[in-house]
């Protein structure tokens, strides 16, 4: 039976009213829900540089998240990558088993101890010696020390891996140290950190830990701690402003050291840094571990910014230098540093040429090469 238009229109209006009523109820419910959620109490989780971060109450710590500054009972920051939640210890969200919570103490980002064990991440580390746990501390990524001994992980010792396996008392390898004063001084060569030897000292000696893989040692270990010829009483850094490379340049009463190797031609009493990787003594000027030949000391000066990793040009009244190498054909009177292009390299110029490092860039007019137009300087 067909309905007339008026009846159809009435039905449509009823349907619209029903839809509107349903949408109104849904919207009202949504508003109530979000207002309630917004006003729901939150518990501070961790304090970061950007401010206090929060999480909902009773939400567990998230695996893989490093929690810091937590003050509530649900999750308390213990330092490093460890946290306490519901009276249990976690390392980046992974439960640390068989731990004495009351005596638990973090001694490194991924190292911790309790009254009877050492932990790497969430695993126990076995010791081959009796450890004095109250005084146990992390020296660095390689060594732990207490008041009686210095320890190294067997995996670090033999396989150059991370902390784990068995802690070995270093004295059993024939090295006698003073554990309370044993400390790391830093890498010998920051340019090759993956294969760099590290420098250490205690009250008696200066030591070098040979951690590079190319060493062939009679003991069949890949890493070895050795006593050096450095005098621990008079050893001091020459570039202490660079805390990441403090002992890259150093001297004692007997020698000057670059990368922990003695420079036989240098006079330690008169050695001083110039800038960057340039240094001098009363007789010579050096770049890193190389002496610059036939340089005029009186007129010598370094060009460019005082930046440790920036390899600057230098000049005297006769020559232009790039490191310890002479820049052939460069005119010292008009030579200047243009700057560096991240993708193309370092540029200098004189009245005749543009130079990329120590080589002439052919086909480029030096007048067109400026700091503002460095992309036009070409590329060697």
My answer on whether 316 and 342 are in the same domain is no
In order of 27, 72, 84, 165, the CA distances from 121 in angstroms are: 49, 23, 14, 12
My answer on whether 317 and 233 are in the same domain is yes
Pairwise pLDDT comparison (32 vs 251), residue with the higher score: 251
| Token pair 């190498």 in the structure block, residue | 325
My answer on whether 321 and 340 are in the same domain is no
Domain boundary pick from 325, 355, 370: 325
Q: What's the pLDDT score for residue 23?
A: 67
My answer on whether 252 and 270 are in the same domain is yes
Q: What is the pLDDT of residues 109-153, one digit of tens each?
A: 888 999 988 988 888 887 767 899 999 999 988 899 999 999 987
Tell me the average pLDDT across 18-47: 52
Give the Cα separation of 358 and 200 in Å (integer).
37
Taken in order 35, 37, 38, 42, the sign of the CA dihedral is: positive
My answer on whether 311 and 284 are in the same domain is yes
Burial class of residue 279 in the structure, from the number of CB atoms within 10 Å of its CB (0-12 exposed, 13-18 middle, 19+ buried): buried
Neighbours of 42 (CB within 10 A): 12
Categorize the per-residue pLDDT at 75 as very low, low, confident or very high, splitting at 50, 70 and 90: low
User: Is residue 90 assigned to a domain?
Assistant: no
Q: What's the pLDDT score for residue 90?
A: 92
Q: What's the pLDDT score for residue 330?
A: 94
My answer on whether 242 and 316 are in the same domain is yes
Length, in residues, of the chain: 380
In this prediction the pTM is 0.68
User: Is residue 164 assigned to a domain?
Assistant: no
Which of 309, 376, 375 shows the shortest CA–CA distance to 341? 375
Chain CA centroid to CA 168, Å = 26
Which of 44, 40, 37, 38 shows the shortest CA–CA distance to 73? 44
My answer on whether 290 and 304 are in the same domain is yes
Domain boundary pick from 325, 350, 368: 325
Characterize 138-168 residue by residue with b for buried, 16 or more Cβ atoms within 10 angstroms of its Cβ, and e for exposed: bbebbbbbbeebbbbbbbbbbeeeebbbebb
User: Is residue 8 assigned to a domain?
Assistant: no
Say which DSSP state 103 is in: G
Categorize the per-residue pLDDT at 335 as very low, low, confident or very high, splitting at 50, 70 and 90: very high
Q: What's the pLDDT score for residue 376?
A: 73
My answer on whether 311 and 253 are in the same domain is yes
Chain CA centroid to CA 246, Å = 14
Q: Assign residue 194 a region: left if phi > 0, alpha if psi is -120 to 50, beta otherwise?
A: alpha
Spell out the alpha helix ranges (H) of the chain. Answer: 5-39, 154-159
Q: What's the pLDDT score for residue 346?
A: 80
Yes or no: say if 293 and 308 are a contact pair by the CB < 8 Å rule: no
User: Is residue 76 assigned to a domain?
Assistant: no
User: Is residue 49 assigned to a domain?
Assistant: no
My answer on whether 320 and 241 are in the same domain is yes
User: Is residue 241 assigned to a domain?
Assistant: yes
**Proportion of the chain above pLDDT 70, given as a percent:** 66
Yes or no: say if 256 and 268 are a contact pair by the CB < 8 Å rule: yes
Q: From start to end of 100-221, where are the E strands? A: 105-108, 111-113, 118-120, 123-127, 137-138, 143-145, 150-153, 166-169, 183-187, 198-201, 206-210
Domain boundary pick from 325, 346, 370: 325
Yes or no: say if 163 and 111 are a contact pair by the CB < 8 Å rule: yes
My answer on whether 287 and 349 are in the same domain is no
- What domain range includes position 380? 327-380
Q: What is the pLDDT of residues 231-246, one digit of tens each?
A: 999 999 887 655 556 6
Q: What is the pLDDT of residues 182-193, one digit of tens each?
A: 999 888 875 554
My answer on whether 346 and 363 are in the same domain is yes
Yes or no: say if 219 and 203 are a contact pair by the CB < 8 Å rule: no
Categorize the per-residue pLDDT at 31 as very low, low, confident or very high, splitting at 50, 70 and 90: low
Instruction: Count up the domains in the chain and report the number.
Output: 2
User: Is residue 273 assigned to a domain?
Assistant: yes
My answer on whether 245 and 317 are in the same domain is yes
User: Is residue 248 assigned to a domain?
Assistant: yes
Taken in order 172, 175, 179, 185, the sign of the CA dihedral is: negative
Is pLDDT above 90 for 157? Answer: no
């Amino acid at each position: 039976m067909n309905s007339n238009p008026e009846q159809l229109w009435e039905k449509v209006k009823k349907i619209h009213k029903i839809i509107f009523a349903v949408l109104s109820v849904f919207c009202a419910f949504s508003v109530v829900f979000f207002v309630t959620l917004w006003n729901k109490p939150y518990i501070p989780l961790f304090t970061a540089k950007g401010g206090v971060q929060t999480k909902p109450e009773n939400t567990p710590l998230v695996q893989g998240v490093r929690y810091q500054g937590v003050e509530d009972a649900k999750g308390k920051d213990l330092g490093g990558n460890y946290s306490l939640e519901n009276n249990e210890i976690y390392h980046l969200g992974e439960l640390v088993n068989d731990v004495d919570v009351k005596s638990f103490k973090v001694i490194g980002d991924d190292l911790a101890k309790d009254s009877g064990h050492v932990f790497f991440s969430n695993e126990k580390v076995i010791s081959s010696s009796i450890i004095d746990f109250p005084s146990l501390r992390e020296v660095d990524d390689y060594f732990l020390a207490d008041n009686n001994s210095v320890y190294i992980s067997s995996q670090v010792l033999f396989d150059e891996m991370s902390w784990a396996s068995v802690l070995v008392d270093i004295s059993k390898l024939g090295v006698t140290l003073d554990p309370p004063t044993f400390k790391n001084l830093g890498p010998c060569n920051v340019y090759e950190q993956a294969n760099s030897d590290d420098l250490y000292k205690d009250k008696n000696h200066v030591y070098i830990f040979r951690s590079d893989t190319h060493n062939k040692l009679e003991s069949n270990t890949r890493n070895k701690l050795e006593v050096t010829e450095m005098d621990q009483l008079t050893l001091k850094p020459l570039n202490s402003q660079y805390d990441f490379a403090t002992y890259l340049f150093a001297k004692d009463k007997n020698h000057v050291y670059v990368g922990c190797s003695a420079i036989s031609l240098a006079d330690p009493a008169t050695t001083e840094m110039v800038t960057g990787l340039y240094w001098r003594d009363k007789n010579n000027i050096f770049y890193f571990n190389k002496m610059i030949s036939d340089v005029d000391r009186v007129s010598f000066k370094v060009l460019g910014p005082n930046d440790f990793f920036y390899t600057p040009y230098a000049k005297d009244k006769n020559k232009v230098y790039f490191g310890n190498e002479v820049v052939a054909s460069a005119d010292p009177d008009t030579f200047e540093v243009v700057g560096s292009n991240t993708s193309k390299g370092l540029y200098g110029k004189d009245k005749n040429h543009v130079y990329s490092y120590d080589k002439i860039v052919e086909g480029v007019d030096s007048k067109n090469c400026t700091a503002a137009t460095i992309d036009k300087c070409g590329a060697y």
